[in-house]
Structure 1
Amino acid sequence: MVTTGAAVVDRFGLQLTLVLFLSVVVVTLFTALLTAPQRDEISEFYLGNRTMTPLRNGLAMCGDYLSAATLLGSTGLVALTGYDGLLYLCGTAVAWMMVLLLVAEPLRNAGKYTLGDTLALRLKHMQRPVRLALALCTLAITTLYLVAQLVGSVALLTQFTGEPSATTRTLCVVVIGTIVIVYAAIGGMPGATFIQVVKAVMLISGVTVTAVMVLNRFDWNIDALLAAAADNSGSGTRFLEPGLRYGASTTSKLDFFSLQLAIVLGLAALPHVMMRLLAPKSSSVLRSSVVWAMGLVSLVCLAAGILGLGATAIVGRDTIAQTDRKGDAAVLLLAHDLGGAVLTALLSCLAFVTLLAVAAGLTLAAASSLAHDLYGEVIRKGRAKETEELAVARLAAVVIGVLGMLLALVSWGANTATLAFLAFAIAASAILPTLVYTLFWRRFTAQGALLSLCGGLLCSVLLVVFSPVVSSTPTSLYPAADFAWFPLQNPGLVSIPAGFLLGWLGSVLSRPETPETYEDFEVRTLVGVD
């Protein structure tokens, strides 16, 4: 693969990117240390001081969700596939409506520090096995997503320096991973919130300004932009019609539907997003925060669509594909054409900061689940002191960060999008059914929760192992082998219904909880304890 090392980023651009990135890191690290929990209270470490305004909390939610894949991957997908890429972006924006309408307020009202607390409040029997299963799913999701971010940082570095050496790859992963550990272990939720807000403001400003520059290039004429994109796509008007990427066969259409299903449903169950839903002080603040987040995410997706079309119209699809066959370089090529080395450096710095922020949120969510659910409630059976649990949470953040770095180095060359989509599929197949049943089904039991959590996790992983992602195609992990009996690359179409089915089956085959348990829980989800 040819990289943009020679074509896009000159020495000045690389130096400017490094200066900007280091400046942001120094400022945010210093602020994270200042805002870090000053008292040994787990509530402050897990949730912050809960005094954030709706706008600030909405920016933090937006920062938690939008990763570098939105800036680079989604833009590249639009640039290479046109209409199909825009349809993918729509799924990203619609996902927040699922959160707002279904789980946000009941989860916040019934929750305490983690989702495990919500399940324990609802399922009085077998609390510890359920918390253990939930911690396992949370660890799987956050680790996969964290590895995708760390591998993505090396892929982004490749856009500047060409194919990096093993030493350069290791250094990049270790530096990014260490900064992430400091954010999560020392700063806790206050520190993570600050970096998320900074990242969200930078991301929204950067993509909006660049999108305005694209529209200005075409005199704010959308038809002219679309026509130029079609002309330079090499596909003519097919570029603006469905099917260029996902319409070649029935299998590819089902694969796309499976992917969108996992994204829309998985967002509501991502551990770091759910943790953010527990942070607002009141239900009214939460509602306003989610509305802000939904609007800001939609704005970024709209801008990303314009950037993708602009990249094809201005740079050309062939140039983008020759530079990076996945399209990740599209936005950098576009930035170089519009604003030279300065704009390229700004957007490159933005991509690195985005990787940092998302990785910090994931590490904090995993550490919180391990410390509170696994150590505090399963191992210590609720008898751990706050200082003890806080120490475990900080240690867990270090362990998760180091584990993520090791896996990122081992899995170098893996498709980051596949890792991220698998994390979404596990969240939608294991955690979402458990969450929905817990909040809304009176008959739900602990056995149902265990089956849903463990079954959804195993089903998602096994289907990916026996899919074209791992074997049978030139782009597979093992192209020479062929044991892919499952035809889809994204397992959500099968694993999500399986997760719901297993939760239902486990519940109807076991003794129900006492009626008073659900009635008390239902009152809590409606009223809360502000």
Structure 2
Amino acid sequence: MVTVSAGVVDRFSLQLTFVLFLSVVVVTLFMALLTAPQRDEISEFYLGNRTMSPLRNGLAMCGDYLSAATLLGSTGLVALTGYDGLMYLGGTTVAWMMVLLLIAEPLRRAGKFTLGDTVALRLPRRQRPVRIALAVCILAIATLYLVAQLVGSVALLTQFTGEPSATTRTLCVVVIGTIVIVYASIGGMPGATVIQIIKAVMLVLGVTVTAALVLHRFDWSPDALLGAAADRSGLGTRFLEPGLRYGGTTASKLDFFSLELAIVLGLAALPHVLMRLLAPRSGGVLRSSVVWAIGLVGLVCFAGGILGLGATAVVGRDTIAGTDRKGDAAVLLLAHELGGGLLTALLSCLAFVTLLAVAAGLTLAAASSLAHDLYAEVIRKGRASETEELTVARLAAVVIGVLGMLLALVSWGANTATLAFLAFAIAASAILPTIVYTLFWRRFAAQGALLSLYGGLLISVLLVVFSPVVSSTPGSFYPDADFAWFPLQNPGIVSIPAGFLLGWLGTVMTKHQEDDSAEQHARFEVKMLVGAED
């Protein structure tokens, strides 16, 4: 049996992966430099080329959302838990429907460069403290997700080299982090869009072709694939029934529901996804773009399910679990069985590019919020020149990238999925209530926004700190300690309702608002419902 300490794939695959990855990085960096903003205009840096077609916009949205966790973690979850893993992938697909139906068009019409602009238009008298709160939440979400990507790059490297030394870990994180900083600080939104589109095309083609190879191996018979997966799982038909991971106890059922709630609602409030919704030039392009994104994400998740089942059917569940207990090696083991070193190298390169693309989008979103909301609007009170703001945005991208690298090195060994799911929970608990109330509640007040933002952030973090994620179980950060009184690993089932409740409570407790509040909301409502086509 192959072990993680020995690495999963051979030396040829490692060398080929390095060559492919280096080639993709060189090409995308060159294209990012070519498409980078040529003028000191913040609109171009934040929103990029607004003349893109719905397909290209949809590819960029797909690239922004799908991370290496989908390619490696989600397929590994299917390989180890069968039905429960497929249900998890279903939630990933459904999440985009929430974006399309709830916030995409109203947010684009009422927005300018950042979410802070939308809330400031709705709550102009107290926009400064609200912008600060939004910047804090966005920085927390982006940093957590960025650290998850950088730690994930080391975990992916482990599949090749075995347990890396401290020097190797540092080199991997610094190299990936530096490339991300270049994409975000120099390329801006146009540069990030280039890598997102390239990554999305590679991801869709890579998983679709590999899924086709899996089906071809089983004579294009889904029944044969499912039967072989059940046989090689060592669990028989239990592998294809609910409860293998999430349904054994009431707590595990609640944990699954909490996780799915955070994923479905959190996507609609992730900073880099929200920023992408402002980029299309019109409402019609936005609708078509999101429909493309839904279709592409759905295709990748469907193919990911086939890959997970195929890994179990071809490699065997015991071998996958023995190689990596989280299942992240499942796709690479499957690729090696189906296509040898070449296919393994292609999918490995794809995973590294996926990490780069998502990290670049996160860094850009956080830098934009810090530069525009915090510096230009709060510190400089709207008096900063475009050149000045653009300089701050680029410096902020560097600072965030360096911060992410330092935290990734300190938190080596952390569960990347936990970091990512916490980011989703914070987004759903703090930012989503603020968006929904801002867009759809006439009485919404700044005090409600502040309570929702800070309260949702604090509750999410505290519940995770006092959960089995941090202590009391062998897989915890501190397995020998025991201060976990919250039984679930994801706080969404509690923190999301709490965020909405705090927003309502802060608003109803606010004293009589200014006389022009109704008139201000009417202007905002006209902007949100009608907007202006640029």
Q: Same fold (TM over 0.5)?
A: yes
Offset, 1:5: 7.0
Q: 1:5 to 1:339 in 2, by over 3 A?
A: farther
The answer to whether the 8 A contact 1:3-1:163 is kept is: no
The answer to whether the 8 A contact 2:146-2:359 is kept is: yes
Query: Which residue in 1 is equivalent to 2:405?
Result: 405
Q: Which amino acid aligns with 1:520?
A: R
Q: Which amino acid aligns with 2:32?
A: A
The answer to whether the 8 A contact 2:4-2:163 is kept is: no
Q: Deviations over 1:26-56 (max 9, x none)?
A: 0000110110000000000000021111000
Query: Which residue in 2 is equivalent to 1:212?
Result: 212
Offset, 1:349: 0.1
The answer to whether the 8 A contact 1:232-1:313 is kept is: yes
Q: Partners of 1:239 and 1:254 in 2: how far apart?
A: 20
Q: Partners of 1:206 and 1:133 in 2: how far apart?
A: 40
The answer to whether the 8 A contact 2:228-2:313 is kept is: yes
Offset, 1:13: 1.0
Greater shift after overlay, 79-88 or 8-17?
A: 8-17
Offset, 1:302: 0.1
Q: 1:216 to 1:4 in 2, by over 3 A?
A: farther
Q: Does 1:103 align with 2:103?
A: yes
Q: Which amino acid aligns with 1:521?
A: F
Q: Which amino acid aligns with 1:522?
A: E
Offset, 1:2: 6.2
Q: 1:125 to 1:7 in 2, by over 3 A?
A: closer
Q: Deviations over 1:450-507 (max 9, x none)?
A: 0000000000000000111111111111111111111111000000000000000000
Query: Which residue in 2 is equivalent to 1:523?
Result: 526
Offset, 1:414: 0.4
- So what's the TM-score if we normalise by structure 1? 0.99
SS in 2 for 1:326: coil
The answer to whether the 8 A contact 1:65-1:358 is kept is: yes
Q: Which amino acid aligns with 1:386?
A: E
Q: Partners of 1:79 and 1:241 in 2: how far apart?
A: 13
Q: Does 1:58 align with 2:58?
A: yes
SS in 2 for 1:252: helix
The answer to whether the 8 A contact 1:443-1:512 is kept is: no
- What aligned pairs does 1:364-383 form with structure 2 within 5 A after superposition? 364-383=364-383
Offset, 1:3: 4.0
Q: Deviations over 1:391-416 (max 9, x none)?
A: 00000000000000000000000000
- So what's the TM-score if we normalise by structure 2? 0.98
- What aligned pairs does 1:43-82 form with structure 2 within 5 A after superposition? 43-82=43-82
Q: Does 1:356 align with 2:356?
A: yes
Q: Deviations over 1:169-209 (max 9, x none)?
A: 00000000000000000000000000000000000000000
Q: Which amino acid aligns with 1:441?
A: W
Offset, 1:518: 1.1
Query: Which residue in 1 is equivalent to 2:142?
Result: 142
Q: Deviations over 1:292-348 (max 9, x none)?
A: 000000000000000000000010000000000000000000000000000000000
Q: 1:211 to 1:86 in 2, by over 3 A?
A: same
Q: Partners of 2:209 and 2:133 in 1: how far apart?
A: 45
Offset, 1:141: 0.0
Q: Deviations over 1:226-278 (max 9, x none)?
A: 00000000111000000000111100100000000000000000000000000
- What aligned pairs does 1:151-230 form with structure 2 within 5 A after superposition? 151-230=151-230
Q: Which amino acid aligns with 2:320?
A: I
Q: Partners of 2:504 and 2:513 in 1: how far apart?
A: 12
SS in 2 for 1:248: coil
Q: Partners of 1:32 and 1:297 in 2: how far apart?
A: 24
Q: Which amino acid aligns with 2:50?
A: R
Q: Partners of 1:400 and 1:3 in 2: how far apart?
A: 35
Offset, 1:60: 0.1
Offset, 1:8: 4.1
Q: Does 1:312 align with 2:312?
A: yes
The answer to whether the 8 A contact 1:5-1:160 is kept is: no
Q: Does 1:431 align with 2:434?
A: no
Q: Does 1:30 align with 2:33?
A: no
SS in 1 for 2:200: helix
Q: Partners of 2:282 and 2:528 in 1: how far apart?
A: 13
Offset, 1:512: 3.8
Q: Partners of 2:7 and 2:29 in 1: how far apart?
A: 33
Q: 1:353 to 1:420 in 2, by over 3 A?
A: same
Q: Which amino acid aligns with 2:439?
A: L
Q: Which amino acid aligns with 1:95?
A: A
SS in 2 for 1:246: coil
The answer to whether the 8 A contact 1:3-1:160 is kept is: no
Q: Partners of 1:326 and 1:198 in 2: how far apart?
A: 28
Superposed CA RMSD: 1.0
User: May I ask how many residue pairs the two structures share in their alignment?
Assistant: 530
Q: 1:414 to 1:6 in 2, by over 3 A?
A: closer
Q: Does 1:280 align with 2:280?
A: yes
Q: Partners of 1:6 and 1:498 in 2: how far apart?
A: 46
The answer to whether the 8 A contact 1:21-1:349 is kept is: yes
Q: Which amino acid aligns with 2:358?
A: V
Query: Which residue in 1 is equivalent to 2:334?
Result: 334
Q: Partners of 2:235 and 2:443 in 1: how far apart?
A: 54
Offset, 1:6: 4.9
Q: Which amino acid aligns with 2:204?
A: I
Offset, 1:420: 0.2
- What aligned pairs does 1:235-254 form with structure 2 within 5 A after superposition? 235-254=235-254
Greater shift after overlay, 118-127 or 134-143?
A: 118-127
The answer to whether the 8 A contact 1:63-1:197 is kept is: yes
Q: Partners of 1:154 and 1:6 in 2: how far apart?
A: 15
SS in 2 for 1:193: helix
Q: Which amino acid aligns with 2:532?
A: V
Query: Which residue in 2 is equivalent to 1:133?
Result: 133
Q: Partners of 1:171 and 1:332 in 2: how far apart?
A: 23
Q: Partners of 1:355 and 1:176 in 2: how far apart?
A: 9
The answer to whether the 8 A contact 1:310-1:334 is kept is: yes
Q: Partners of 2:371 and 2:259 in 1: how far apart?
A: 32
SS in 1 for 2:384: coil
Q: Deviations over 1:64-103 (max 9, x none)?
A: 0000000000000000000000000000000000000000
Query: Which residue in 2 is equivalent to 1:497?
Result: 497
Q: Which amino acid aligns with 2:92?
A: T
Q: Partners of 1:314 and 1:512 in 2: how far apart?
A: 65
The answer to whether the 8 A contact 1:8-1:336 is kept is: no
SS in 1 for 2:84: helix
SS in 2 for 1:391: helix
Q: Partners of 1:171 and 1:136 in 2: how far apart?
A: 29
Q: Partners of 2:75 and 2:531 in 1: how far apart?
A: 40
Q: Deviations over 1:364-408 (max 9, x none)?
A: 000000000000001001000000000000000000000000000
Query: Which residue in 1 is equivalent to 2:417?
Result: 417
Which segments of 5 or more consecutive residues in structure 1 lack a partner in the other structure?
Answer: none
Query: Which residue in 1 is equivalent to 2:396?
Result: 396
The answer to whether the 8 A contact 1:434-1:453 is kept is: yes
Which segments of 5 or more consecutive residues in structure 2 lack a partner in the other structure?
Answer: none
Q: Which amino acid aligns with 2:376?
A: G
Q: Which amino acid aligns with 2:236?
A: G
The answer to whether the 8 A contact 2:7-2:160 is kept is: no
SS in 1 for 2:469: coil
